[in-house]
Amino acid sequence: QKRLRRVRGGAEAINPPQFVGLAGRPFSVNETMHATQKRAIARAAVEMCSDGEPIIINGGTTTFQMVHFLVNRRMPIFTNSFPIAEHLLKHSKNTVMLSGGTIYREQNIILSPFENDVTRNFYARRMFMGAQGLGPLGLMEGDPLLIQAEHKLIDQADEVVVLVDSSKFRQRSSLILCGLSRIATVITDEGIEDRDAKMLEAAGVALVVAPGSQPKAEESALPA
C-alpha cells in the first residue's frame, strides 16, 4: 500500500510516525514572561532549603530560577529538567540526579510513562514545582503525561512547595494535578490578590510573598 520504500539492507516507512510533543508553550517563551517575579520567588524558595537536605525540583521556568541561588549549596537534588541539571552540574557542587525518559525539547523536560524509573528510589524533604494554573480545586496542568510524571515526583516528597507568579491564579486548565490539601506552601509575588490569599488560608496552605517581586507594568500586561 506504498507505506514502505526499498533502501539498502531493507525497507523504511515513507511517512514515519511523528514525535508528539507536550501541550503548552515552549520553555523559551515562558522564560521571558514575568522574569522579575520568577527570580524573586525562586530566591525565597531556596531560602527554605538547608545544606544536606534532599529536594526535588520539577521542570519549569520559575523553578529553573532556583539554580542561581543554589550554586553555593551542597544538597542532593533530583530533577526532571535538563536545563536545571546542566546548570547545577556546571556551576555548583550539589549532587544531581536526573529522572529517566524522553527529553521534550520545547519544554526542556524529561518524562517517562513507565512506573519502574529511578524516581521511586529518591526521597525528598520538599518538592518544588510550578503549574499552569492554581485555583480552588488545586494545581492545574495541560498535559496528561506531565501530570502522570509529576504524580510520581509528588509521592516521593514530604512537602510540596508551589512556585507560581500571581498571574497563575487567573489561569485554568481541564486537568487537575493535585488538590490544595497536598500543598504545604505557595510562594508567589506581591501581585497576589486578597481573594487568592484568603483561598489559600482557608485551605490551610502557607503563603509566602516573595519580597522585591512587585510586577512591572509592562510585564503585567503580558498574557500568562
Instruction: Read off the pTM.
Output: 0.81
pLDDT digits (tens, 9 = 90+) for 188-207: 999 999 999 999 999 999 99
What the block records as the C-alpha cell of 8 is 539498502
| CA-based nearest residue to 140, from 112, 173, 165 | 173
> Is 77 in contact with 57 (CB distance < 8 Å)?
yes
Which is more confident, 25 or 164? 164
The residue extents of the domains of the chain are 35-213
Tell me which residue of 183, 170, 177 sits closest to 34, measured CA to CA.
170
Confidence of residue 13 (pLDDT cuts 50, 70, 90): low
Map residue 224 onto helix, strand or coil: coil
Per-residue confidence band for 127, with pLDDT thresholds at 50, 70 and 90: very high
Q: Which residue has the higher pLDDT, 175 or 17?
A: 175
User: 220 falls in which pLDDT band (50, 70, 90)?
Assistant: very low
- According to DSSP, the β-strands at 102-104 and 109-111 are antiparallel
Residue type for 87, please?
H
DSSP helix/strand/coil, 196? helix
Cα gap 165→192, rounded to integer Å:
8
Q: Where are the beta strands (DSSP E) in 122-184?
A: 124-129, 133-135, 138-141, 157-163, 175-178
Residue-level pLDDT at 212 = 81
Specify the CATH number for 35-213; select among 3.40.50.1360, 3.40.50.740, 3.40.50.920, 3.30.530.20: 3.40.50.1360
